[in-house]
Amino acid sequence: MTDNDSFSLVCDAELDASGLNCPLPLLKAKLELNRLPSGGVLKVIATDAGSQRDFRAFAQLAGHELLREEAEEGIYRYWLRKR
């Protein structure tokens, strides 16, 4: 991970899944990705620690690109590029 200040990425959509438990953050992200065009970037904010495993596996299985992930004080952020 790089320093937060050195990372900037234009997102086409942002999903705040804070407070939702597995599998809801991933399910909501899948719905949001369906609305984006190919190449679109979705930023997801979650508080469920299990989301780390879920988003890595989902990106790999679905063919999306997990551009970045961050974990800080129980808040998890993911940037996904739709295939």
CATH number at residue 31: 3.30.110.40
In a domain, 76, yes or no: yes
Report the helix count and the strand count for the chain, using DSSP H and E.
2, 4
Which residues sit opposite 61 in a β-bridge?
A: none
Q: How many domains does the chain have?
A: 1
In a domain, 1, yes or no: no
Q: Cβ distance 46 to 17 under 8 Å?
A: yes
For residue 22, indicate whether it is catalytic: yes
- Point out the catalytic residue in the list 22, 24, 67, 71: 22
> For the chain, what is the mean pLDDT?
93
- From CA 21, how far away is CA 34, in angstroms rounded? 21
Q: What is the pTM of this model?
A: 0.89
- From CA 2, how far away is CA 17, in angstroms rounded? 23
Handedness of CA 3, 10, 46, 31 (dihedral sign): negative
What was the pLDDT predicted at 63?
Answer: 97
In a domain, 49, yes or no: yes
- Identify the domain containing residue 54 by its residue range: 10-81
In a domain, 54, yes or no: yes
CA 3 to chain centre: 18
